[in-house]
Amino acid sequence: QVGLLDLELNQLTKALFLALVALSVVMVTLQGFVGPWYRNLFRFLLLFSYIIPISLRVNLDMGKAAYGWMIMKDDNIPGTVVRTSTIPEELGRLVYLLTDKTGTLTQNEMIFKRLHLGTVSYGTDTMDEIQSHIINSYSQVHSQNSGNSTSSTPSRKPQSSAPKVRKSVSSRIHEAVKAIALCHNVTPVYESRAGVSGETEYAEVDQDFSDENRTYQASSPDEVALVQWTESVGLTLVNRDLTSMQLKTPGGHILTYYILQIFPFTSESKRMGIIVRDESSGEITFYMKGADVAMSTIVQYNDWLEEECGNMAREGLRTLVVAKKSLTEEQYQDFESRYNQAKLSIHDRNLKVAAVVESLEREMELLCLTGVEDQLQADVRPTLEMLRNAGIKIWMLTGDKLETATCIAKSSHLVSRNQDIHIFRPVATRGEAHLELNAFRRKHDCALVISGDSLEVCLKYYEHEFVELACQCPAVVCCRCSPTQKAHIVKLLQHHTGKRTCAIGDGGNDVSMIQAADCGIGIEGKEGKQASLAADFSITQFKHIGRLLMVHGRNSYKRSAALGQFVMHRGLIISTMQAVFSSVFYFASVPLYQGFLMVGYATIYTMFPVFSLVLDQDVKPEMALLYPELYKDLTKGRSLSFKTFLIWVLISIYQGGILMYGALLLFESEFVHVVAISFTALILTELLMVALTIRTWHWLMVVAEFLSLGCYVASLAFLNEYFGDFHVTGSHYLFSHFVSADVAFITTVTFLWKVSAITVVSCLPLYILKYLKRKFSPPSYSKLTS
Domain count, the chain: 3
Q: Which domain holds residue 661?
A: 53-80+548-785
Cβ-in-10-Å burial (0-12, 13-18, 19+) of 630 comes to buried
For the ranges 220-224, 701-705, 744-748, the one whose mean pLDDT is highest: 701-705
Determine whether the annotation assigns residue 400 to a binding site: yes
Determine whether the annotation assigns residue 633 to a binding site: no
Residue 318 or residue 367, greater confidence: 367
Residues in CB range of 580: below 8 A, 6 or more apart: 656, 657, 660, 661
| Domain membership flag for residue 61 | yes
Contact assessment for residue 269 and residue 294, using Cβ atoms and an 8 Å cutoff: yes
The residue type at 91: L
Please report the pLDDT score of residue 727 as a whole number: 35
Contact assessment for residue 291 and residue 370, using Cβ atoms and an 8 Å cutoff: no
pLDDT at 299 over 60: yes
| pTM for the model | 0.78
Determine whether the annotation assigns residue 432 to a binding site: no
570 shares a domain with 530:
no
Determine whether the annotation assigns residue 241 to a binding site: no
Which of residues 310, 339, 373 is at a domain's end? Answer: 373
Please report the pLDDT score of residue 592 as a whole number: 85
479 bridge partner residues? 451
| Domain membership flag for residue 338 | no
Please report the pLDDT score of residue 141 as a whole number: 76
Please report the pLDDT score of residue 743 as a whole number: 66
Contact assessment for residue 785 and residue 620, using Cβ atoms and an 8 Å cutoff: yes
pLDDT band at 155 (very low <50, low <70, confident <90, very high): very low
Please report the pLDDT score of residue 436 as a whole number: 93
Cβ-in-10-Å burial (0-12, 13-18, 19+) of 128 comes to exposed
Please report the pLDDT score of residue 740 as a whole number: 45
76 shares a domain with 136:
no
| Domain membership flag for residue 9 | no
Cα separation, 323 vs 301, in Å, equals 12
Region of poorest pLDDT, from 67-81, 154-168, 455-469, 561-575: 154-168
Of the candidates 622, 559, 632, the residue with the CA atom closest to the CA atom of residue 387:
632
Determine whether the annotation assigns residue 100 to a binding site: yes
Residue 461 or residue 267, greater confidence: 461
Determine whether the annotation assigns residue 211 to a binding site: no
pLDDT at 775 over 90: no
Residues in CB range of 589: below 8 A, 6 or more apart: 27, 40, 43, 44, 47, 582
514 shares a domain with 457:
yes
Of the candidates 184, 176, 189, 414, the residue with the CA atom closest to the CA atom of residue 290:
184
Please report the pLDDT score of residue 741 as a whole number: 43
pLDDT at 723 over 50: no
pLDDT at 608 over 90: yes
pLDDT > 70 fraction of the chain, expressed in percent and rounded: 90
| Domain membership flag for residue 21 | no
| Domain membership flag for residue 43 | no
pLDDT at 315 over 90: no
pLDDT at 174 over 70: yes
699 shares a domain with 622:
yes
Please report the pLDDT score of residue 411 as a whole number: 84
Catalytic residues: 100
CATH number of the domain enclosing 484: 3.40.50.1000
385 shares a domain with 368:
no
Please report the pLDDT score of residue 156 as a whole number: 40
pLDDT band at 742 (very low <50, low <70, confident <90, very high): low
pLDDT band at 418 (very low <50, low <70, confident <90, very high): confident
pLDDT band at 708 (very low <50, low <70, confident <90, very high): very high
Other CB atoms within 10 Å distance of the CB of residue 595: 10
407 shares a domain with 513:
yes
pLDDT at 657 over 90: yes
369 shares a domain with 302:
yes
Cα separation, 613 vs 560, in Å, equals 8
Please report the pLDDT score of residue 399 as a whole number: 87
Determine whether the annotation assigns residue 318 to a binding site: yes
Which of residues 373, 404, 432 is at a domain's end? Answer: 373
Determine whether the annotation assigns residue 518 to a binding site: no
- Give residue 681's Cα distance to chain centre: 47
462 shares a domain with 444:
yes
Over the stretch 86-105, which tens digit does the pLDDT of each residue have?
Answer: 999 999 999 999 999 888 89
| Domain membership flag for residue 150 | yes
567 shares a domain with 511:
no
Over the stretch 659-697, which tens digit does the pLDDT of each residue have?
Answer: 998 888 887 655 667 787 888 899 999 999 999 999 899
Determine whether the annotation assigns residue 362 to a binding site: no
| Domain membership flag for residue 406 | yes
CATH number of the domain enclosing 264: 3.40.1110
Which of residues 514, 539, 564 is at a domain's end? Answer: 539
Over the stretch 350-395, which tens digit does the pLDDT of each residue have?
Answer: 899 989 999 999 889 999 999 998 888 999 999 999 999 999 999 9
Average pLDDT rounded to a whole number, residues 568-590: 91
498 shares a domain with 390:
yes
396 shares a domain with 306:
no
- Give residue 531's Cα distance to chain centre: 9
pLDDT band at 290 (very low <50, low <70, confident <90, very high): very high
194 shares a domain with 165:
yes
Determine whether the annotation assigns residue 289 to a binding site: yes
Over the stretch 621-652, which tens digit does the pLDDT of each residue have?
Answer: 999 999 999 999 898 888 899 999 999 999 99
Average pLDDT rounded to a whole number, residues 339-347: 91
Please report the pLDDT score of residue 188 as a whole number: 92
| Domain membership flag for residue 336 | no
Q: Which helix (H) or strand (E) holds 343?
A: helix 329-344
Cα separation, 145 vs 578, in Å, equals 104
Q: 556 vs 230, 549, 603, 696, CA distance in Å? A: 51, 10, 23, 15
